[in-house]
Amino acid sequence: MCVAGVLGTGSALPDKVITNQDLEKLVETSDQWITDRTGIKERRQAAPHETTSTLSILASRKALEKAGIQAKDLDLIICSTISPDMPLPSTAALVQSGLGASGCCAFDLAAACSGFLFGMTVAEQFIRNGTAKYVLVIGAELLSRYLDYKDRTTCVIFGDGVAAAVFGPVAPPSGILAHELHTEGHYADHLFIPAGGTALPASSYTVEQGAHYIKMRGNELFKVAVRSMEDVSRQVLEKAGLQVADLDLFIPHQANQRITEAIRERLGMCSEKVYSNISHVGNTSSASIPICLDECAQSGRLKRGDLVLMSAFGAGVTWGAVLMRW
């Protein structure tokens, strides 16, 4: 039975930077208000010609190069996104074509901010049972396309970005050690986009009402997110027979710096072991954790043998954690 691990990572961020000062000109807010409540100073915004698939292709090429394999070697492509190029075909199919990975299976996965961890878990199953050898998992979001720049509760938080990782068989003790995933639809109305689906198809009325923008009940989500991410983090550690003290690095979903700090305190971790890039990237939903992972890999923050915990919470609501030996 194979053990699945990361062979290479890559990311792609749009060039355009939206600062807190830029947002002060669009909505009633301030740099101090945004920083105090979210920890965010700036976020990226995709150019009109950029799409979820085009940025995904860029990130994926970097990941493939780092992994030392070619696109034709891939057996599966999983694209985690809630901001696809279009309702159909899947963004993964467009990425497959752009990479020249003809013939391999490719599909999208929608689990919002937890999506990359859901994709990792699916990839691990395929590799472990021998169905696939190399799997490309992408976390990709262009959330600026869904932001109402009159709503300061959402437009100050979300940004655009993409990251990818190639998974394949690795030699123990490296690889994915444990994972845990959850969904609770009872909280679906806490973070959602009302229009654009079969319940409320796009029309001049939905556009006029701003129903195609992200709606969020942030205060209610805060408590649920902290509790869920702490619980699921402890669950994967218990599954692997390890303790918080054994961790070398904790990469939480970059939702809000206050959420990160609350989870860190609950887990009893020192700040040096917790990675954060929210100040300059913002909340990029399913791209959040893989962007962090790529930054850590490229900067040398991650070293072979390091024990890494990743935990996320997102719309659905979904939450999950993956424990991995680098």
pLDDT tens for 249-280 read 999 999 999 999 999 999 999 999 999 999 99
* Residue 150 vs residues 39, 82, 155, 206, 241: alpha-carbon distances, Å: 20, 22, 8, 16, 48
Section 111-139 average pLDDT: 98
pLDDT in tens, 164-214: 999 999 999 999 999 999 999 999 999 999 999 999 999 999 999 999 999
In the sheet where 76-80 sits, what is the strand order? Answer: 3-12, 160-170, 135-142, 76-80, 105-109
* 213 and 316 fall within a common domain: yes
Range of the domain at 255: 177-325
Residues 52 and 112 in one domain: yes
* pLDDT tens-digit series, residues 127-142: 999 999 999 999 999 9
How many angstroms separate the CA atoms of 209 and 19, rounded?
27
Token output for 101: 């990975």
Q: Do both 141 and 232 map to the same domain?
A: no
The confidence score (pLDDT) of residue 218 equals: 82
The residues near 326 (Cβ < 8 Å, ≥ 6 apart) are 5, 6, 174, 302, 303, 304, 305, 306, 307, 308
Give the domain-ending residue among 151, 171, 191. Answer: 171
Same domain, 14 and 135: yes
Task: Write down the pLDDT at residue 69.
Answer: 97
Tokens 């900067």 sit on residue = 299
- The whole-number pLDDT of residue 285 equals 98
Choosing from 20, 79, 104, 113, which is the catalytic residue? 113
Pull the structure tokens for residue 302.
């991650």
> Is residue 253 flagged as an active site residue?
yes
The answer to whether 283 is a known catalytic residue is yes
The mean pLDDT value for 116-121 works out to 98
Residue 102: give its domain's CATH number.
Answer: 3.40.47.10
- Examine the domain organization and report whether 128 and 233 are in the same domain: no
- Please identify which of the residues 79, 283, 292, 296 carries the catalytic annotation: 283
- The reply to whether 156 and 217 lie within a common domain is no
pTM equals 0.97
**Residues 104, 215: one domain?**
no
**113 labelled catalytic:** yes
237 and 95 fall within a common domain: no
Using CB atoms within 10 A of its CB, is residue 308 exposed (0-12), middle (13-18) or buried (19+)? buried
| 18 and 159 assigned to the same domain | yes
Contact 20, 33 (CB under 8 A): no
Give the per-residue pLDDT at 246.
98
Asked if 156 and 206 sit in the same domain, the reply is no
Residue 187: which residues within 8 A CB-CB, separation 6 or more? Answer: 220, 221, 224, 316, 317
Which of 116, 149, 171 delimits the end of a domain? Answer: 171
Looking at residue 128, its pLDDT comes to 96
Are 216 and 149 in a shared domain? no
Q: Which of 253, 256, 292, 296 is catalytic?
A: 253
Whether 222 and 282 map to the same domain: the answer is yes
Q: Is 38 exposed, middle or buried (0-12, 13-18, 19+ CB in 10 A)?
A: buried
Which of 118, 149, 171 corresponds to the end of one domain? 171
Q: Are 115 and 291 in contact (CB under 8 A)?
A: no
Number of independent structural domains in the chain = 2
pLDDT at 314: 97
